Structure 1
Amino acid sequence: MPVTLPSCGVYERPEDAHRLFEGYDPRRALFLDRDGVINADHGYVHRPEDTEWIPGVFNLCRVAIDVGALIIVVTNQAGIARGYYSEQQFLDYTGWVHGQFASHEIVLQATCYCPHHPDAPDPALRLCSCRKPLPGMILEAARRYRIDLGASALLGDKPWDVQAGQAAGVGLNLRFDPNAMAEPGVVRTMQEAGQVLHRFFE
């Protein structure tokens, strides 16, 4: 019999779980990586006091909101698998992040997270179907929220973010790198990302 690999976890704030946009079915979405896109990647960030928002990320999210797209975070969380913090600590922190966005009138529909890693001390956390560059988190979100992946966009800061989006069939896959040379598929500021997203979502 085929082996079923573990899939991702999904966090939703209870007060936001029902706030799906009406009139956009199937829906479009903006998929965001977390560390390096939403917050600066200081390494295994899981506490509010270690959080530094990427400049312009809230305005970027408003571009998606203005066209009725859902905003969904898709994040590898090797820190859980490695034992640097518990899954509950991650969920508590994620709830805080969702609350911070809500204070800017931005609903993060969900955070899909992969708690697995090939080097995890626990063998049960080594294999999965969701760790990017695998597309499992994106496909789970598409199933859950009836997302039209071809009409959706993804922004990540690592090649495996883009690879996951491409494997899932996401229509626009961008890599955020403030230090990159100008090249197709790469944006260097959130303002530039917003402009590309605006053209794509028109």
Structure 2
Amino acid sequence: MSKAIFLDRDGVINDNTKKHVNKPKDLIIYDGVGDALKKAVEAGYELFIVTNQGGIEMGHLTHEQLQDIHHKMEEELRPYCSFKEIKYCPDFKRVSECRKPKPGMILELTEKYDINLKDSWMIGDMDTDVEAGIAAGCRTAKIGVKNKLADVNGANLSEIIDKILKNS
């Protein structure tokens, strides 16, 4: 069994504070993300993206546009790491098992890749990310405003990864 880090995308990998990321040109990766993810890979973690993308259901972007955004993200981060898989939930209004805080995306990847959840982490910037990680059975980390239920809290992905590796 392997260990993994499940990462939310918006607010963790890239900045979405000024504009929703609906086109590749809107994707602005935070400074330090590549180096932080490289450290995680070197420590033996497989990387996955698990992201709510309700903009698809809302009509703000298509599945194809989202694939283009993810392709840009992967290309920019390729010198540092690669993602085992990028999973997204296109739902917004409809009841869905994949939309966080439900753990559907994490559990599906766990089964597919034989991941040990007890040695794995969900990192996000929203309370729903923490809730999804807890529901899945992995440890959790929250970026930004502190969440008392998270195992680790920090200002950005670099700080979170350093804390995870220190506690491993």
1:77 maps to: 53
Q: 1:196 to 1:82 in 2, by over 3 A?
A: same
Choose 1 or 2 for highest CA Rg: 1
* Cα offsets for 1:62-88 (capped at 9, x unmatched): 121012211000000010010111111
Instruction: Give yes or no for the alignment of 1:39 onto 2:32.
Output: no
Alignment partner, residue 19 of structure 1? none
Match of residue 163 from structure 2: 196
- The separation in 2 between residues aligned to 1:200 and 1:72, in whole angstroms, is 20
- Is contact 1:149-1:169 (8 Å) kept? yes
Aligned partner (choices 105, 111, 117) of residue 143 of structure 1? 111
Matched to 2:48, the amino acid is: I
Superposed displacement of residue 181, structure 1: 6.5
- Find the residue that maps to 1:173 and give its secondary structure: strand
| Aligned-partner residue type, residue 99 of structure 1 | E
Q: Does 1:94 align with 2:70?
A: yes
- How far off its partner does 1:185 sit? 2.9
Contact 1:31 1:153 (C-alpha < 8 Å) held by counterparts = yes
Could you tell me how far apart the structure 2 residues matched to 1:189 and 1:38 are?
9
Identity score, percent = 33
Of 28, 53, 58 in structure 2, the residue corresponding to residue 52 of structure 1 is: 28
Partners of 1:86 and 1:160 in 2: CA distance: 23
Partner of 1:11: none
User: Which structure is higher in strand share?
Assistant: 2
Distance (whole Å) between structure 2 residues aligned to residue 139 and residue 71 of structure 1: 14
Structure 2: which amino acid aligns with 1:132? Answer: K
Deviation at 1:97, TM superposition (A): 1.3
Q: Normalising by structure 1, what TM-score?
A: 0.76
1:186 pairs with 143, 150, 153, which one? 153
Residue 156 of structure 1 and its aligned partner are, at CA, apart by 0.2
Contact 1:63/1:197 (<8 A) preserved: no
The whole-number CA distance in structure 2 between the counterparts of 1:135 and 1:98 is 24
> What is the one-letter code of the residue matched to 1:56?
G
Unaligned runs of 5+ in 2: none
Number of residue equivalences: 165
- Alignment-derived partner of residue 85 in structure 2: 110
CA RMSD of aligned residues (A): 1.8
TM-score (norm 2): 0.90
Aligned partners of 1:157, 1:193: CA distance in 2, in Å?
Answer: 11
**Helix, strand or coil for the counterpart of 2:14?**
coil
Q: Which runs of 5+ in 1 are unaligned?
A: 1-25, 119-125
Residue aligned with 1:113, SS: strand
**CA–CA separation in structure 2 for the residues paired with 1:78 and 1:181:** 25
Deviations 1:115-138 (CA, angstroms, capped at 9, x unpaired): 1111xxxxxxx1221100000000
CA distance in 2, matches of 1:113, 1:87: 10
Give the letter for the 1:109 counterpart.
Answer: K
